[in-house]
Amino acid sequence: MTTPALNQLSASQAAALLARREITAEAMVRACLARIDLREGEIHAFAHLDADGAIAQARALDAGPVRGLLHGLPLGVKDLMDSADMPTTYGSAIFAGYRPAFDAAATALCKEAGAVVMGKTVSTEFAYFQPGPTRNPHNTAHTPGGSSSGSAASVADQMLPLALGTQTAGSIIRPASYCGVVGYKPSLGRVPGAGVKSLSPTMDVIGGFGRSVADVGLLGAVLTSDERLAHLSDTKAPRVGWFKSPIWPEADADTQAMWQNAQRTLSTHAASSDDVVEPQDFGDLIPLQKSVMAFEMARALSHERAHFAPRMSERLNALMAEGMAIHGDTHAAGLLQTLAWRARMDGLFDRYDVLITPSATGEAPAGLGATGDPMFCRSWSLLGLPCVHLPIAQSGHGLPIGLQLVGRHGQDHQLLSVAQWVHERLTR
């Protein structure tokens, strides 16, 4: 049996070897740098790479005690997050060369737990729809998704075992789906947002990418300070709710076939496996999410909008105009609706341990001028619920597709435990 190169190890596999000192952090970092050197010219996952700094971090870790759950693991940090020792551009030429004074809290937590920050991964412009240069590792003529483009692509291409991302609409789950990796969006409020460019405080969440549920569990444990996520226990057969949502017809034929196969498989293992009777007006959540996001982004980016509009994309300027046209009373009413919906949907989890829903409409679209549609993620982002994307199949064109699992707010450990249970049964 061929021994995999160190960069091919999952984060959880590598973490165990690093903790036992069976491999060194420097060897792990150098393996990832070799892969980056081989592939970065084609994938363009990094906005900034600090190879020398990463090797220095690794050597310091090797010379001292084991630091924490992420000891010696190479990590990519989305370029929406401040970094004291690297440029931070938020995916915009406006901030070219900008050097913050401090790391974002999430990055600092990861460093404290022993992670080796390799560089900043590409974000779309202010984490909206204008794409950066990143390409999909499975087919470079296709988008990797957005806005956490570089993070998803770097993990998918085995450049890194872990990378941080953010989500306001679908910016973790969608690129995870398109790139065929596991993506984890924690419950709203579980991860500190200090040092991350704020877009929509009602929905902004920091999470990340790995190659297995155990991988994102390690990262999640550090981000949320909940070590249960790093030690996912065997769960009893869960109660599964299959939630199509009113936009189900937008899912392509491959996604619908995958869904049906998964439903048949899990029906023989789960404690219960039922189609969810959705609230009749659930479709109202998508326009509500768009309105709340537009209002809050237009105001969060007020300085950029007022002084640098000509240097922003047409897409972003259009969102700014839309958001500024929304009256404050309308937004206040939207926030009240959001709170009411969160309370209303919480009741579903009295009957189900997890909801399963599409992650995306299908495979990564061809072309690099757009990042795909987050329609299957918007409602869950508005509700602030924890979500996991599981890659489980391929489309007819050989591109990854998968399913999104949604859990009860604050019950991230249960969601990840069930996600691991589901993933094992759907990928045997």
DSSP 249: G
pLDDT in tens, 162-171: 999 999 999 9
- Check: CB of residue 201 under 8 Å from CB of residue 234: no
CA distances from 341 to 282, 338, 345, 416 (A): 9, 5, 6, 23
> Please, which pLDDT band fits residue 4 given cuts at 50, 70 and 90?
confident
pLDDT in tens, 256-308: 999 999 999 999 999 999 999 999 899 999 999 999 999 999 999 999 999 99
User: Does residue 321 register a pLDDT over 80?
Assistant: yes
Give bridge partners of residue 184 from the DSSP assignment. 208, 388
Catalytic residue among 147, 291, 381, 395: 147
Residue 225's region, left for phi above 0, alpha for psi from -120 to 50, else beta, is: left
> Please, which pLDDT band fits residue 120 given cuts at 50, 70 and 90?
very high
Q: Pick the closest to residue 361 from 371, 373, 347, 353 (CA basis).
A: 373
Percent of the chain whose predicted confidence (pLDDT) is above 90: 98
> Please, which pLDDT band fits residue 100 given cuts at 50, 70 and 90?
very high
CA distances from 216 to 169, 229, 230, 416 (A): 19, 8, 8, 9
Mean pLDDT along residues 82-106: 97
Q: Pick the closest to residue 377 from 167, 201, 212, 78 (CA basis).
A: 167
DSSP 196: B
pLDDT of res. 2? 66
- Check: CB of residue 379 under 8 Å from CB of residue 286: yes
pLDDT in tens, 351-379: 999 999 999 999 999 999 999 999 999 99
Phi, psi values for residue 244, rounded to 5°: -75, -40
- Check: CB of residue 166 under 8 Å from CB of residue 204: yes
Q: Is the pTM of this model over 0.85?
A: yes
Instruction: List Cβ<8 Å contacts ≥24 apart for 132-136.
Output: 132/44, 132/47, 132/91, 133/44, 133/368, 134/43, 134/44, 134/45, 135/42, 135/43, 135/44, 135/368, 136/178, 136/179, 136/364, 136/399
- Measured at the CA of 163, the angle between CA 51 and CA 34, to 5 degrees, comes to 35
Q: Pick the closest to residue 117 from 63, 177, 162 (CA basis).
A: 162
Bridging pattern class, strands 116-121 and 74-78: parallel
Catalytic residue among 12, 92, 171, 200: 171
Cα-only R_g, the chain: 20
Q: Pick the closest to residue 315 from 128, 92, 122 (CA basis).
A: 128
Rounded Cα distance, 147 and 159, in Å: 19
Query: Is 171 one of the catalytic residues?
Result: yes
> Please, which pLDDT band fits residue 3 given cuts at 50, 70 and 90?
confident
pLDDT of res. 127? 98
Catalytic residue among 10, 12, 78, 212: 78
5-34 core/surface letters (b: 16 or more CB in 10 A; e: else) = ebbebbbbbbbebbeeeebbbbebbbbbbe
Phi, psi values for residue 18, rounded to 5°: -65, -40
